[in-house]
Amino acid sequence: MRTLRRGDTGNDVRTLQTALTRAGYDPGSINGIFGAQTERAVKQFQRVLGLQEDGIVGPRTWAFLMPFVYESDPDVLRRGSRGDMVRRLQNGLIRAGYDIGTNVDGLFGTRTQAAVRAFQRGRGLPETGVVEVNTWLALAPYLDSNSILLRRGDRGMLVRIAQTALTRAGYNPGTVDGIFGPNTQNAVRAFQAAKGLSVDGIIGPRTWTALMAYLGTVIPPTPGYITYTVQAGDTLSELARRFGTTVSAIVALNNIADPDLIYVGQVLTIPVNNAWPYGAQ
């Protein structure tokens, strides 16, 4: 790609604007005209990457932009991404026990990338630093359920995660495509009815939390154990059932004084049977 700056026009500018939009920046209309708003978006992108904020798209800026040119899914996150899904990612990493090195700011910089790599390493995933579907599935149980609200017509990675969980739970949402259509809505209703939840076909915090039990994505740090961050609605008896162990074993391993008192965000070490994660579903 040629070096671009304010005043340039053409297909390369249109490619630039598309990449910036996918990365979570607002270059204005994707019209092939490098105006003030596109320049502002370039400078914001450069700031997140630690590049010189000159608004000129040369080889180094293009090198960071090119992954966004080829990856059309804006929910696949990498260094340089920004927005609400980056905030969800950062919150999830913190809840999973990883240090993002900054406030939850929605900016995917080097510290967030390092935390993603560490998370991937701990889960046996390729250490790419890119948050694609498998990393999202592994992180999903740590996402803040209170911020989840999905309904028919919604699209995106959160819908795809929910569809995957429904499939693993034995319900058929149709194609796992990130589109919340009638098949997914019917599967949600059936799941809610079976779990004693309000049958409204909407995935709110309680339905999301119940679905996360079917994403057996936490890999044991040592054979026979997993680390688990307590989510809203969890109880020790439910965790014992899910992971094929006993309440007394969890209590003893974590020095819990009151088995009826665990709190959201608490990190537990849980013994698991040899069948986990398959037996936990």
What span, in angstroms and rounded, lies between the C-alpha atoms of 198 and 179?
22
46: its two tokens: 């450069």
What span, in angstroms and rounded, lies between the C-alpha atoms of 28 and 35?
9
| Mean pLDDT value across residues 237-248 | 79
8 A C-beta contact, residue 171 and residue 187:
yes
**Element of type H or E holding 40:** helix 36-49
Please tell me the predicted confidence (pLDDT) of residue 225.
Answer: 63
Domain range 11-70, CATH architecture? Orthogonal Bundle (1.10)
CA angle (77, 78, 84) in 5-degree steps: 40
227: its two tokens: 């680390």
pLDDT tens digits, one per residue of 118-163: 999 888 888 889 999 999 999 999 998 888 999 999 999 999 999 9
Domain assignments of the chain as residue spans, ordered by start: 11-70, 84-142, 146-212, 225-280
In sequence order, the 6+-apart residues with CB closer than 8 A to the CB of 34 are 4, 5, 6, 7, 8, 9, 13, 16
Please tell me the predicted confidence (pLDDT) of residue 216.
Answer: 62
Mean pLDDT, rounded, of the chain: 87
The CATH number fitting domain 146-212, selected from 3.30.499.10, 1.10.101.10, 1.10.10.60, 3.30.43.10: 1.10.101.10
| Mean pLDDT value across residues 171-184 | 94
On the question of a common fold for 11-70 and 84-142, the answer reads: yes
- Note the residue count of the chain: 281
Q: What is the DSSP letter of 50?
A: T
Please tell me the predicted confidence (pLDDT) of residue 239.
Answer: 82
Residue 200 pLDDT > 90: yes
What span, in angstroms and rounded, lies between the C-alpha atoms of 208 and 165?
9
Residue 224 pLDDT > 80: no
How many CB atoms are located within 10 Å of the residue 42 CB? 27
Residue 217 pLDDT > 50: no
Please tell me the predicted confidence (pLDDT) of residue 251.
Answer: 82
Residue 228 pLDDT > 90: no
CATH placement of domain 225-280 = 3.10.350.10
Please tell me the predicted confidence (pLDDT) of residue 275.
Answer: 37
Please tell me the predicted confidence (pLDDT) of residue 41.
Answer: 96
Is the domain covering 84-142 a CATH 1.10.101.10 domain?
yes
